[in-house]
A = this chain, B = another copy of it.
Amino acid sequence: MPLKRRESGLKAVLVIGDGMADRPVKELDWKTPLEAAHKPSLNQIAKTGISGIMDPVSPGLPPGSDTATLALLGYDALKVYSGRGAFEAIGSGIEVLPGDVAFRCNFATVNKNLVVLDRRAGRIANKDASKLAESIQKIKLEKLLDSEFLFKNTIQHRAVLIIRKPGLSIAVSDFDPGNVGEKVSDVKPLENTSEAKLTAKIVNELMQEFHKNLKEHPVNKERVKCGLPPANMILCRGAGTVPNIKPLSQMYGISTACIGATPLVRGVCKAAGMKLIDVKGATGTPQTDFMAKTKATIQALKTHDFVFLHVKAPDVASHDGNIKQKVELIEKIDRMLGYLLGNIDVDSTYLAVTADHTTSLVTRSHEGDPVPIAITGPYIRRDDVEEFNERKCAKGGLNRIKSMDLMYILMNLLGKTKKFGA
Q: In whole angstroms, what is the CA distance A60 to B350 when docked?
A: 15
Q: In whole angstroms, what is the CA distance A420 to B69 when docked?
A: 12
> Contacts A369-B412, A381-B369: A362 and B3 contacting too (C-beta < 8 A)?
yes
> Contacts A2-B321, A379-B23, A379-B362: A62 and B420 contacting too (C-beta < 8 A)?
yes
**Total interface residues on A, using CB and 8 Å?**
68
Interface digits, A368-382 against B, CB 8 Å rule (1 contact, 0 not)? 110000000001111
Tell me whether A422 and B368 are in contact (CB under 8 A). Answer: no
Tell me whether B60 and A381 are in contact (CB under 8 A). Answer: no
Which of A189-197, A204-212, A391-399 is the interface stretch?
A391-399
| Residues 178 to 227 of chain A near chain B (Cβ within 8 Å) | none
A169 vs chain B, min Cβ distance (A): 18
Please name all residues of chain B whose beta carbon is closer than 8 Å to the beta carbon of A418 when the two chains form the complex. Answer: 62
A203 vs chain B, min Cβ distance (A): 17
Tell me whether A63 and B420 are in contact (CB under 8 A). Answer: yes
Which of A150-158, A272-280, A324-332, A401-409 is the interface stretch?
A401-409
Tell me whether B422 and A365 are in contact (CB under 8 A). Answer: no
Interface digits, A56-84 against B, CB 8 Å rule (1 contact, 0 not)? 01111111111110000000011001001
Please name all residues of chain B whose beta carbon is closer than 8 Å to the beta carbon of A58 when the two chains form the complex. Answer: 405, 408
Please name all residues of chain B whose beta carbon is closer than 8 Å to the beta carbon of A62 when the two chains form the complex. Answer: 412, 417-420
- Does A99 have its Cβ within 8 Å of any Cβ on chain B? no
Please name all residues of chain B whose beta carbon is closer than 8 Å to the beta carbon of A24 when the two chains form the complex. Answer: 379-382
Tell me whether A23 and B381 are in contact (CB under 8 A). Answer: yes
Please name all residues of chain B whose beta carbon is closer than 8 Å to the beta carbon of A104 when the two chains form the complex. Answer: 422
> Contacts A23-B381, A400-B399, A409-B60: A368 and B417 contacting too (C-beta < 8 A)?
yes
Please name all residues of chain B whose beta carbon is closer than 8 Å to the beta carbon of A380 when the two chains form the complex. Answer: 23-24
- Does A168 have its Cβ within 8 Å of any Cβ on chain B? no
Please name all residues of chain B whose beta carbon is closer than 8 Å to the beta carbon of A412 when the two chains form the complex. Answer: 60-62, 367-369
Tell me whether B383 and A419 are in contact (CB under 8 A). Answer: no
- Does A342 have its Cβ within 8 Å of any Cβ on chain B? no
Please name all residues of chain B whose beta carbon is closer than 8 Å to the beta carbon of A417 when the two chains form the complex. Answer: 60-62, 368
Chain B CB within 10 A, most for which of A84, A415, A421:
A421
- Does A8 have its Cβ within 8 Å of any Cβ on chain B? yes
- Does A32 have its Cβ within 8 Å of any Cβ on chain B? yes
Q: In whole angstroms, what is the CA distance A313 to B407 when docked?
A: 31
Cross-chain contact of A422 among B30, B65, B394 (Cβ < 8 A)? B65
- Does A312 have its Cβ within 8 Å of any Cβ on chain B? no
Q: In whole angstroms, what is the CA distance A97 to B367 when docked?
A: 38
- Does A305 have its Cβ within 8 Å of any Cβ on chain B? no
Tell me whether B381 and A32 are in contact (CB under 8 A). Answer: yes
Please name all residues of chain B whose beta carbon is closer than 8 Å to the beta carbon of A5 when the two chains form the complex. Answer: 363, 365
- Does A17 have its Cβ within 8 Å of any Cβ on chain B? no
Interface digits, A344-386 against B, CB 8 Å rule (1 contact, 0 not)? 0000000000000000101111111100000000011111000
Closest to A55 in B: B405
Q: In whole angstroms, what is the CA distance A2 to B319 when docked?
A: 9
Please name all residues of chain B whose beta carbon is closer than 8 Å to the beta carbon of A4 when the two chains form the complex. Answer: 363
Cross-chain contact of A65 among B363, B395, B398, B421 (Cβ < 8 A)? B421
- Does A315 have its Cβ within 8 Å of any Cβ on chain B? no
- Does A33 have its Cβ within 8 Å of any Cβ on chain B? no
Q: In whole angstroms, what is the CA distance A68 to B81 when docked?
A: 31
Q: Which 6 A-B pairs have the closest CB atoms?
A: A64-B421, A67-B421, A60-B408, A84-B422, A60-B412, A399-B400
- Does A260 have its Cβ within 8 Å of any Cβ on chain B? no
Beyond contacts A23-B380, A368-B412: 9 other A-B pairs, Cβ-Cβ < 8 A, are: A59-B405, A61-B412, A62-B417, A62-B418, A63-B421, A84-B422, A382-B391, A394-B399, A400-B400
